[in-house]
Amino acid sequence: MKISGAEAVIRCLLEEGVDLIYGYPGGAIMPVYDELYKFQDQLHHVLVRHEQGATHAAQGYARATGKVGVAIATSGPGATNLVTGIADAQIDSTPMVCITGQVGRHLLGSDAFQETDIIGISTPVTKWNFQVTEASQIPEIMAKAFYIARSGRPGPVLVDITKNAQFDEFEFSYEKCTGIRSYTPVPKLNLEKVAEAAALINSAKKPLIVFGQGIILGQAEDEFKAVVEKSGIPAAWTILGLSALPTDHPLNVGMLGMHGNYAPNLLTNECDVLIAFGMRFDDRVTGNLNTYAKQAKVVHFEIDPAEIDKNVKTEIAVLGDVKESLAALLPLLDAKSHDLWHNEFKALKEVEFNSVIKEELNPTNGKGISMGETVEMINKHSKGDAIIVTDVGQHQMFACRYAKFNSTKSNITSGGLGTMGFALPAAIGAKMGKPEREVVAIIGDGGFQMTIQELGTIFQTQVPVKIVILNNEFLGMVRQWQELFFDNRYASTKMINPNFVAIAEGYHIKSKKVTQREDLDEAVAEMLASKDSYFLEVMVEKENNVFPMIPTGACVSEIRLS
């Protein structure tokens, strides 16, 4: 049967099991939207308020479910508005397929209305991209797009489809992609390397595990927990690894990096063997590479060969699927408890608690509400079962530091790219992907205003996300740096904000503003009890800083408590 390219796009999405996409219509993608109208029973399209919102929503959906998120937009500005989300998905390895309309083939290169070279623009930030100029290419390219987006180390793929290719008819048939000869998504596991790694780990006196999102992407949470528990090795996480291991697990020693916990950062430079799982030694995690874990032998379990020795020189690299590697590693490990070594973590945790955490969670001296205590209040009422979606900045660091998580895929944040404006649309996607779970977006007053228009999407779709704005009337993280490193010169970080509650109410979202500590408990309880979306603005202490902190370029063991 002959069908149009536009219909083929929809049929390909259905073949790939897609039932929800985010997008915004426009001239060059109209044939596809016309088919969306016909297929609305099978494929739900969520109209966002800005294409950037479509990508972040697709990312939130992907991060919460593990499935491929899909965003769709028109040519020109529609396509360029996707770029931030695509870049975010690329650096955070999020599986996403973006479909853009393009001017007709005969107009390509002529500077036609809403023509932009989105292939050229998106090349550095996509795992793969392709411009379709003939309808008959659509099934093969869409199949490749989904295969590439989800396989191996996941990432974003962009398929640009010229308008003629959407209109033209062809004989449709679909075959899922199962392999591409030039692409090896998962390197073959070398069992000898696993044995070498096990021997080194077994010989270690002070081993430290550092884990990242690879555990979550590889669906290896159970295998990982088994390895941690059998080996008795303290395990610390990167912010994208957060929630892969429950936060209250006795062997979970906390967060790595710039605003991470005191013990794992300091002891990174004391351990004798550093075992990394599915993480890439980002500069926010390592600080100065010249003084990072130089005393340790490094074992790196990783799916992407390009990450081996990129930042940190490894002793043993175990390439492959982490689920398989962990399963192979487990029987080779000696059961240990490393009690003395754990005592070092406990002692330093105590130091951090007394000098930072205690005051953050229970501010004294008449200080205003802190971000940390707000997060703690959410913990109290969510009991650690909520998905927490954060933006970028101080609130993000407080949320990652203090949020409790019982289960995986619960922490959704913009890690590598640090995209302000990520959280609100990402929370929409997360909630739609996991409607049975509570989804709380925690956002700063700055980032909120970057994608505030997505309140319209929440209103239109009635998606019951909970939104907490931690309002300090500053771009807090930048202000903190200005205070610490730029002699208090607060250049353009003071925010004169609108009446947020009135705005949320304008979108008919139940709203409340909290300015006093004694009202926080009840407000958070009411928010989480709400069946509908809920907007909670919390006025927090204006000039609080996030500590501990490893200043840029400093060494992990130079972590400051104040």
What are the residue numbers of the active site?
51, 113-114, 163, 477
Q: Which one, 116 or 533, has the nearer CB to other proteins?
A: 116
Q: What is the CA radius of gyration of the chain?
A: 24
Tokens of 302: 């990783």
Give yes or no for a contact between 524 and 548, defined as CB atoms under 8 angstroms apart. Answer: no
Query: Using CB under 8 A, which of 2, 19, 110, 124 touches other proteins?
Result: 124
Binding residue for other proteins (CB under 8 A) from 19, 222, 248, 309? 309
Judged by CB under 8 A, which of 120, 250, 435, 498 binds other proteins?
Answer: 120
Which stretch, 26-34, 115-123, 453-461, 522-530, contacts other proteins (CB under 8 A)? 115-123
* Cα dihedral 427, 152, 211, 484 sign: negative
User: Closer CB to other proteins, residue 128 or residue 474?
Assistant: 128
Q: Is 310 one of the binding residues for other proteins (CB under 8 A)?
A: yes
Which of 123, 407, 515, 552 binds other proteins (CB under 8 A)? It is: 123
Burial of 15 (0-12, 13-18, 19+ CB in 10 A): middle
Rule CB under 8 A: say whether 128 interacts with other proteins.
Answer: yes
Residue entry with tokens 């009446």: 499
Contacting other proteins within 148-177 (CB under 8 A): 148
Inter-CA distances, 387 with 6, 409, 471, 522, Å: 35, 8, 21, 20
Please give the Cα distance from 325 to 123 (Å, whole number).
32
186 binds other proteins (CB under 8 A): no
Of 308, 351, 361, 554, the one binding other proteins (CB under 8 A) is 308
Nearer to other proteins by C-beta: 302 or 373?
302
Say how many residues touch other proteins, by CB under 8 A: 21
Rule CB under 8 A: say whether 554 interacts with other proteins: no
* Binding residue (CB under 8 A) for other proteins from 2, 19, 183, 485: 183
Residues 459-478 touching other proteins, rule: CB under 8 A, are none
With CB under 8 A as the contact rule, which of the stretches 4-12, 106-114, 120-128, 481-489 interacts with other proteins?
120-128
Which segment (17-25, 302-310, 483-491, 514-522) binds other proteins by CB under 8 A? 302-310
Residue with tokens 């932009």: 116
Q: Which is nearer to other proteins, 1 or 306 (CB)?
A: 306
Site membership for other proteins, residue 457 (CB under 8 A) = no
Minimum Å gap between C-beta 186 and other proteins is 12
Q: Which amino acid is at 272?
A: D
d(CA 459, CA 454): 9
State the nearest-atom distance from the C-beta of 135 to other proteins, in Å.
Answer: 18
Which of 17, 179, 331, 366 lies at the binding interface for other proteins (CB under 8 A)? 179
Give bridge partners of residue 252 from the DSSP assignment: 235
Q: Which tokens belong to 471?
A: 């309002």
**CB half-sphere exposure, 509, CA atoms < 13 A:** 32
How many whole angstroms from its chain centre is CA 498? 28
Coil vs helix vs strand at 139: helix
320 closest CA partner among 446, 190, 160, 222: 190
Minimum separation from the CB atom of position 242 to other proteins (A): 26
109 sits near other proteins (criterion: CB under 8 A): no
Judged by CB under 8 A, does residue 306 bind other proteins?
yes
CA neighbor of 442 nearest in space, from 505, 492, 379, 497:
379
> Would you say 305 or 506 has its CB closer to other proteins?
305
Evaluate whether 386 touches 440 at the Cβ level (below 8 Å): yes
Q: Does 496 bind other proteins (CB under 8 A)?
A: no
From residue 397, alpha-carbon distances to 21, 108, 255, 298 in Å are 30, 45, 10, 27
C-alpha closest to that of 180 among 154, 143, 205: 143
Say if residues 263 and 256 touch (Cβ distance below 8 Å).
Answer: no
CA within 13 Å, CB half, 9:
33
Q: Determine which residue in the list 11, 49, 50, 127 makes contact with other proteins, applying CB under 8 A.
A: 127
CB 93 within 8 A of CB 63: no
Please tell me whether residue 304 binds other proteins under the rule CB under 8 A. yes
At its nearest, how many Å lie between other proteins and the CB of residue 313? Answer: 9
> Which C-beta is closer to other proteins: that of 180 or that of 561?
180
Binding site for other proteins (CB under 8 A): 119-120, 123-124, 127-129, 131, 148, 179-183, 304-310
